[in-house]
Amino acid sequence: MSPMVHVTSNAPTGTPNWLDLGIPDMARAKEFYGTVFGWEFQDYGPEAGHYHAVMLQGKPVAGMMKNPDDAPSEYWWQTYFATEDCDGTVKRASDAGATVLMAPDDIMDQGRMAVLSDPTGAQFGLWQGRAHVGSQIVNEPGSLVWSELVTADPGAAGDFYRAVFEYTLEDMPGGFDYTVFNRPDGRAIGGMLGRPDTARPAWTVYFEVADPDEAVRRARDTGGTVVAEPEDSPYGRIAAVKDPFGAEFNVMRSAPPEGT
């Protein structure tokens, strides 16, 4: 398990530093996610398109907004990666085969962002923090603890993220296609699961919880769907859930650090 972190400044480039979700019904989303994680919500107002900050212990950990009525009916949590130079990272990503879905743009005084699709089709964002540094709490219950790319072409994806963020790639033992992404300083920031049958490559999110079984019960009771029941692994107890709109996420009680 990674140590609990309270973030007060911009994370190193390549670190997942924000995530958000667009859905058709904010009231329904607040009921569901508030019940599962104990989140509260802060509306940033009409000038921000009523984008909501997801609040934990009074600090933003994610974002949520109502999609336009003509938006596609597919929903997912989008992962953003820290960058010190959004425009430069977009250029590097484009040169490595990315598709730019949203060109770099200033979001008021909060920061600069872009949205891209990697060469295997997985969408992700970039966030260059200014007033808003991203998720201010990670690795504790109710917040992001792990990010994972699921793709049918891990070779191409690995080459891409290595070129863009200078990750080193570390194969995990265990007889399945799993790779850990490490920042240049050696810190693991996420993983990659190679799955040939993946219909839509995507970055998936894991939220830390104190009790995965209870989180799954709450999700089910509030209109969610359980994709994978809680199961123990060497890395913790993990379950997969879909919210009432079909957006999938994982809940996880991380295994204690070795030696504790």
Give me the domains of the chain, ranges plus CATH numbers.
7-136 (3.10.180.10), 138-254 (3.10.180.10)
pLDDT score for 1: 42
pLDDT in tens, 15-35: 999 999 999 999 999 999 999
Please answer whether residues 188 and 182 qualify as being in contact, where contact means their C-beta atoms are separated by less than 8 angstroms. yes
- Output the six-digit token pair for 23: 């859905």
DSSP 8-state class, residue 246:
S
Judged against a pLDDT cut of 90, whether residue 105 lies above it is answered with: yes
Query: What is the pairing mode between strands 99-107 and 40-43?
Result: unpaired
Please answer whether residues 190 and 147 qualify as being in contact, where contact means their C-beta atoms are separated by less than 8 angstroms. yes
* pTM assigned to the model: 0.95
pLDDT score for 38: 97
Determine the Cα–Cα distance for residues 194 and 217; give it in Å rounded to an integer.
29
Judged against a pLDDT cut of 90, whether residue 234 lies above it is answered with: no
Q: What are the residues whose beta carbons fall under 8 Å from the beta carbon of 242, sequence distance 6 or more? A: 224, 225, 226, 227, 248, 249
pLDDT score for 123: 97
pLDDT in tens, 143-192: 999 999 999 999 999 999 999 999 999 998 877 899 999 999 999 999 99
